[in-house]
Amino acid sequence: MKQALVISGGGSKGAFAVGVVKDLMNIYQLDFNTLIGTSTGALIVPLVALGELEKLEDLYTSVTDDQILVKYNLGKRLNSNSIFTAGPLSDKIDALYTDEYFEKVLKSEKEIYLTTTCLQTEELVVFTTAKHPVENSYYNVRKIVSADQFRRAILASASQPVFMPPVKVNKTVPNETFPENQFVDGGVREYAGIGMAVDAGAEEIFTIIHSAKKLRIQTSN
Amino acid sequence: MALVLIFIVTGINAQTETEFTKGWLFNLKLTNGVATNFKSGSPDMYTGGLGINPQVTMVPGLLRIGINASAVYNDKKFSGLFGPMAALKLKTFGTENFGSFANMHLIAEANWGTNHQQMIGGGLGFEILSLAHIGLTAQRDYKLNNWWLQSFIAIRLNKIKQEEDRYAR
């Protein structure tokens, strides 16, 4: 049975998803064939694909904002495209998702989908390791051709516009028509890629949504 | 020992420090104030000037040094004033999550003038959005025996280098 894991955006709330995924894989022995991540979910699913749960737990329990973002005097960012830069996050992505790791992902035949939004076309663009991804009129599908593009797509999906700089995901892709196109968080267009899991042929879909439900506390007088 | 401590502290904060960052700035500075000896019955003399004030960060997050070079009007005369200055950051004003927007710093300066002025003093300055400086200074002219009490406003003239991520380039 083809099982899919969908993880929504949600920043540091991704720690919750990591805990849920650990239980799903360790206690319920689930093995996901299709993994779809948006924003913080895009940071998580490539590690889930190869069962690197310890690295994932370490990432979400020991890293602080200051270790992934660089803050500035706001006056110095008036002419920039983001309030922060994300050099330290890029470094962490580079260290985690090496060329070897990308090769292992391809060999595993796990289908990873990373959702992004293109600033130039305003389209939802999904970067995937799937060999035969299904096209859909609602979103654009791009097959990932290199480890560099893989890392850029992860970073782009996690880059909240205004706060983090847009990423040129296709900058190093050979013969790319629009290498300068900029990509940001897929959550701008699609909070959780459940429809993509359906399109990918998943028969069971496990979705982790990070939006907290508002609770109304009733008081009795 | 104190210096070692300063370097250890600033080293720890280097990643998160948003004020007094590495590099230099070039200010155009306008001053206004009075020169007084606090004693004579004669009115205080107006003093005003326009000058440049380049500064370079010596200890990130803590200390900048620079020079003042200005033309001032005082006692119906124009003078040139030149001298070194230093700024010690006292406080960063900012938001918890989005970085800073200003800092308060202590200023120490000495100036020599073309009309026999020999001054030393200091004051309090505020740097706002890395673009403008405002502040108050008091300098004692120990040669001509009076005090220069001034306010200043300075505008940064040199362009701020924009940091950019390698994947964004």
pLDDT tens, residue by residue, A198-213: 999 999 999 999 887 7
Give the mean pLDDT of chain B: 88
- Of chain A, the end-to-end C-alpha distance in Å amounts to 53
* Cβ count near A211 (within 10 Å): 11
The answer to whether A57 touches A22, Cβ cutoff 8 Å, is yes
Q: How far off is chain B from A220, nearest CA to CA, in Å?
A: 37
Phi and psi at A216, nearest 5°, equal -100, 120
B-interface mutation test, from A65, A68, A73, most B Cβ less than 10 A away: A73
Considering only CA atoms, give the Rg of chain A: 17
How far is the CA of A180 from the CAs of A169, A206, A210, in angstroms? 8, 35, 32
The stretches of A38-177 forming alpha helices (DSSP H) are 40-49, 53-62, 87-96, 99-108, 147-158
Please give the positions of A annotated as active site. 39, 185
pTM (predicted TM-score)? 0.83
Q: Per the CB < 8 Å rule, is B163 touching A70?
A: yes
Give the integer Cα–Cα distance in Å for A127 and A77: 30
Give the integer Cα–Cα distance in Å for A168 and A146: 14
At residue B16 the predicted structure's pLDDT band, cuts being 50, 70 and 90, is: low
- Considering only CB atoms, which chain B residues are within 8 Å of A168? 167-169
pLDDT at B7: 37
pLDDT tens, residue by residue, A21-30: 999 999 999 9
Q: How far off is chain B from A54, nearest CA to CA, in Å?
A: 27
- Considering only CB atoms, which chain A residues are within 8 Å of B27? none
Instruction: Look up tokens 């003078």; give the residue.
Output: B79
How far is the CA of A93 from the CAs of A35, A87, A174, B6, B95, in angstroms? 18, 10, 22, 33, 27
Q: What is the interface size between A and B, counted as CB pairs within 8 Å?
A: 77
- Considering only CB atoms, which chain B residues are within 8 Å of A72? 18, 99-100, 163
Q: Which of residues 108-167 of B touch A (CB under 8 A)?
A: 128-131, 160, 162-167
pLDDT at B5: 38
pLDDT at A135: 83
At residue B54 the predicted structure's pLDDT band, cuts being 50, 70 and 90, is: very high
Considering only CB atoms, which residues of chain A are within 8 Å of chain B?
Answer: 65-66, 70-81, 83-87, 90, 151-152, 155-156, 165-168, 171, 182
